[in-house]
Structure 1
Amino acid sequence: MAEIGTRKGQGNRSPLPVTVCYGAETYLLQRWVAALIERNVDEEHRELAVTKYDLAETPLDVVLDDAETLPFFVPRKVIVASRATFFTAAKESGKIEHRLDRLQEYAKAPAEHTIIVFTVEAEKLDERKKLVKTFKELGAVQAFAALSAEELNRWAVRQAEELGFSFGPGAAELLVLYTGGQLQPMASEMDKLSLFAGRGGTVTKATVDELVARSTEQNVFLLIEEIVQRRIEKAFAILYELLKQREEPIKIAVLMARQFRLIWQVKDLERQGYSQQQIAGHLGSHPFPIKLASEQGRKYDNERLQRIMTLLAELDFNIKSGRIEKVLGLEMFILHIAA
């Protein structure tokens, strides 16, 4: 990634006057914007110098008028304009009119006293659009793609170093697993682990298991992983912990069905020659669960996966119709597919 908010010159660096940031990894995008502000605006000036707009509610003209207006009492100002969907192929709502031709001209001759950052949570820009081509020609585009499983592990290790602790064997990977590969919860949990470990301390797998919070979805994923690996005692321990937390058995069954469906989809697309990154884009998923679903899929053939999904559909019907007690139904399903 390019250095935050700068353009390389011959022997010097200056902030880009206008940039569009996009990508699925919003945590990195937000950190990039925060670092740009920190670098270019003194802390005592930020209340006057930093303005944020939502382009789903504010016309582009308002943003550009502000950009062209001289700053008051500060040498430079930063404007952050979010939800800039006109850079993508997404259909505009029509409620707000944006004069893109004006932005096209502004990008070529921007105000020297203003930095504008457009952000959009989209995996890609529409490169057919003249505006996108202009920004790319100016080198004013920053992409923040979702990290792969390997990149997530490396990111966790680097963050630990910055926080002053280290991970023991397998602990970083377990943190990634427990947080679903999402950087925002990973960062929050690492702050907690840092406080626990102390400066120079080591975080082990046991520490991660004890301290890191897991959502219902993540617990169900772990339940599936234990079933796939035929660790039945651990699978039942997770199931009973979910029930202890008052999770509805029918919700657990639905989440299990969703995970097995993902495993089947990934296995089918891999058979067609798609890479994991392509599958993630095709299914609109983060690459990390795609990688894990791929690994889990190696334990089953297509016929077995289809049978499992049929059993889950039958379980759903039997629970809802009262033909079987809910917890007993889940227990029998786990025993059946692990056999």
Structure 2
Amino acid sequence: MDAKKALKDIQAGRPAPVYLCYGLEKYRMREFIQVLMDSLIEPEHKEFAVSKFDLGEISLSAVLEDAETLPFMVPKKLIIATNALFFTGAKESTKVEHHLDRLIDYLKSPAEHTVIVFTVDADKLDERKKVVKSLKEHEAAIPFLSLTAEELQQWVTRQAQKLGFAFTGGSVDQLILYTGGNLQSLSAEIEKISLYVGNGGTASKETVDQLVARSTEQNVFILIEDIVNLRLERAFVILEELLKQREEPIKIAALIARQFRIMLQVKELSKQGYSQQQMASQIGLHPFAVKVAEGQARKYEADKLCAIMSQLADLDFQMKSGKIDKVLGLEMFLLRLAA
């Protein structure tokens, strides 16, 4: 089952007795659980109606015993059980013993007064396990995977519309680039922008540039984008800002090397017919970052990318051995790259 269908059933007053929420998109997962809680539990009942368990410390049997116990002073209760690693192929470090057959039996006759939500931060479940098969048969497993680049752009646009303003002229992509596509960060920045532009206002690229904070990693990402598109002046302004923030040139060079390594990986995977979503999963990146890297990689042949990686390795050695001034070495590399 997908989250949209599950939410529709919840809002229609038909929640399932058990949900397994998995995936790396924690923001959407938290949103889903909040909607479920608001639909199921009255605000004044939350203290008695909501229980939380960490399955790294508490056994599955204890969770199910609580589920089967009648609620106290409330008509329904919600149980949230986190760190349910036993649904995945990951090796558990905990010594807590979980009897998974107990959950399979529970699914056959779940308590009518309880809704259980299991959560696990993993993008895949172990499909070989009987308990996972059973949950899927009951349409209880809901994936919360990273949005594609297009879905992310639509999500940002919708969030702005809800707050009564609009983005213009490529500012959506710029905002996503500055936040790395993290929904929690995006949500906070969109709210900040909405307060700045006001109801009915518009946010331009300049607005995003002025208001949105960027991490070192994101600044390096943008610096590479500027170099690739021959916006040298802007690239050197970003480099100067990083150095003013006392960022270590060796660290900046390492982050540049990481981005070119990603570009090379994306180029090779693209040749093999991988989609952006598949590449994101393979490399461990957000799909939007893959989309940008794919665009950057088109400007270079694979041999050129390998040569750049070799130059960066040489620069790293020279910096660490004191054979070149770190800042000068970095600036000279960027100039050669642009040339």
Structure-2 separation of matches of 1:323 and 1:253: 16
Task: State the one-letter code of the partner of 2:271.
Answer: R
CA–CA distance in structure 2, aligned partners of residues 145 and 92 of structure 1: 22
CA RMSD in angstroms, aligned pairs only:
1.5
Q: Which shows bigger deviation, 247-256 or 273-282?
A: 273-282
- Runs of 5+ consecutive residues of structure 2 not aligned to the other structure: none
Give the TM-score, by structure 1 length: 0.96
Given that 1:6 and 1:15 are in contact with CA atoms closer than 8 Å, whether structure 2 keeps it comes out as no
Equivalent in the alignment of 1:174: 174
Amino acid aligned to 1:330: L
Tell me, yes or no, if structure 1 residue 209 matches structure 2 residue 239: no
- Assess if the C-alpha contact under 8 Å between 2:57 and 2:94 holds in 1: no
Q: Is the CA contact (8 Å cut-off) linking 2:168 and 2:203 kept in structure 1? A: yes
Aligned residue for 1:129? 129
Q: Please give the alpha-carbon distance, in whole angstroms, between the structure 1 residues aligned to 2:234 and 2:169.
A: 21
- Cα separation, 2, equivalents of 1:275 and 1:7: 32
Query: 2:188 & 2:145 partners in 1: Cα distance?
Result: 20
- Aligned mates of 1:169, 1:231 — CA distance in 2: 18
Matches of 2:94 and 2:182, distance apart in 1: 33
Cα distance in 2 between the residues matched to 1:284 and 1:334: 27
Correspondence for 1:337? 337
- Residue 146 of structure 1 aligns to which amino acid in structure 2? S
Q: Is the 8 A contact 2:56 2:94 kept in 1?
A: no
- Structure 1 unaligned segments of length 5 or more: list them: none
- The 3-state SS of whatever aligns with 2:4 is coil
Q: CA deviation at 1:26?
A: 1.2
Give aligned pairs, total.
337
Contact 2:100 2:131 (C-alpha < 8 Å) held by counterparts: yes
Give the 3-state SS of the residue equivalent to 1:152 in structure 2: helix
User: Mapping of 1:111-260 within 5 angstroms?
Assistant: 111-260=111-260
Aligned position for 2:90: 90
Structure 1 residue 4, shift from structure 2 partner: 4.5
Structure 1 stretch displaced more, 281-290 or 249-258: 281-290
Provide the residue aligned with 1:30 in structure 2.
30
Inter-partner Cα distance in structure 2 for 1:178 and 1:231: 17
Q: Deviations over 1:218-238 (max 9, x none)?
A: 000000101111111111011
Q: Is the 8 A contact 2:79 2:115 kept in 1?
A: yes
Map of 1:280 onto structure 2: 280
Rounded to whole Å, the distance in 2 between the matches of 1:41 and 1:321 is 63
Match of 1:43 in 2: 43
- The match for 1:320 is 320
Q: Secondary structure at the match of 1:71?
A: coil
Give the aligned residue type for 2:56: A
TM-score (norm 2): 0.96
- 1:6·1:16 contact (CA, 8 Å) conserved in 2? no
Task: Quote the sequence identity (%).
Answer: 58
Indicate if the aligned counterparts of 2:10 and 2:36 stay in contact, CA closer than 8 A. no
